[in-house]
Amino acid sequence: MHFHSRLAAACACAVAFPCAAQQSSAPPLWEIGAVGLVASQQAYPGANQQINRGLALPFLIYRGDVFRVDRGNLGIRAVKTPEFEIDIGVGGSFGSSSRQLDARRGMPDLGTLVEVGPRLKWNIAQLDGGARVRAEFPLRGVFDLDDRLASKGAVFEPELSFGQRESEGWSYAAAVGAVWGDRRLASTFYGVAPAYAGASRSAYTAASGLIAWRLSATVSRKLSQDIRLFGYVRTDSVQGAANAASPLVLRKDGVSAGMVLAYTWKQSEARATD
């Protein structure tokens, strides 16, 4: 994977992770700092090999009423009520060379994928002790950063999450969700054109539908006023998925995990409104 691809993927992590667990008081309007990330990611749902990465990059957070760069948001927050919020969300995943993946050897590489699109957030319940139950419904276009932002289709990723705000420096969250993709996105991961078929890999036409079930958990610990440590783990399962019969699916379940160390260098005295 090229350097510029790694840069974009890690910046997305830098924006998301430092904001994943905030204190009960209003956070600063803006923050700048640096983030270090080590991660092991399943190459794609159904793969039997991992992609390992280590990165260190700056981050920027801005929590304006309308324009926001925070918790996976990038751009405009169109609607905000106590129960519902609509914004523009981003996501992404590391790419991998087909030379590294036995199942895809000789096929096109999997590029670094960037997702951009609207997201509906529903604050279902605010519990005692700062705990919160939330549902999110992002619908995003998918683009390949290694191929001049070529479109790779669309993805819908509904998720139900439970989060516990800081308790003596600790914060926790858990989520369950699913990933649905259109035919173009499914073909990116699971399609095998006749030109790439052989004795060990038959041709396969991918179908739209469920790509994977997803279960994730995160934990964070505030080490000092400016330093926070995060850990996350996620499992993806292709049990019952639309393309579980693809010759590129060699494992039904897979795990991705990582650790992030975030350092806040500067922050505003002004506080965000939420």
The dihedral over CA atoms of 51, 73, 169, 271, expressed in degrees to the nearest 10, equals 150
What is the C-alpha to C-alpha distance for residues 1 and 259, in angstroms, rounded to an integer?
20
Q: Where are the domains of the chain?
A: 3-267
Q: What is the pTM of this model?
A: 0.82
pLDDT in the model for residue 167: 63
Q: What is the model's pLDDT at position 14?
A: 41
Around Cβ 50, how many Cβ atoms within 10 Å? Answer: 16
Give the model confidence (pLDDT) of 159-197 as tens digits.
Answer: 999 998 766 778 899 999 999 999 999 999 999 999 999
Maximum alpha-carbon separation in the chain: 64
Taking Cα atoms as reference points, which of 152, 162, 155 lies closest to residue 179? 155
* List of the chain residues with pLDDT < 50: 1-24
Taking the CA of residue 178 as centre, how many other CA atoms within 13 Å lie in the half-sphere pointing to its CB? Answer: 10
What's residue 129's pLDDT? Answer: 74
Task: Specify the fold of 3-267.
Answer: Lipocalin (2.40.128)
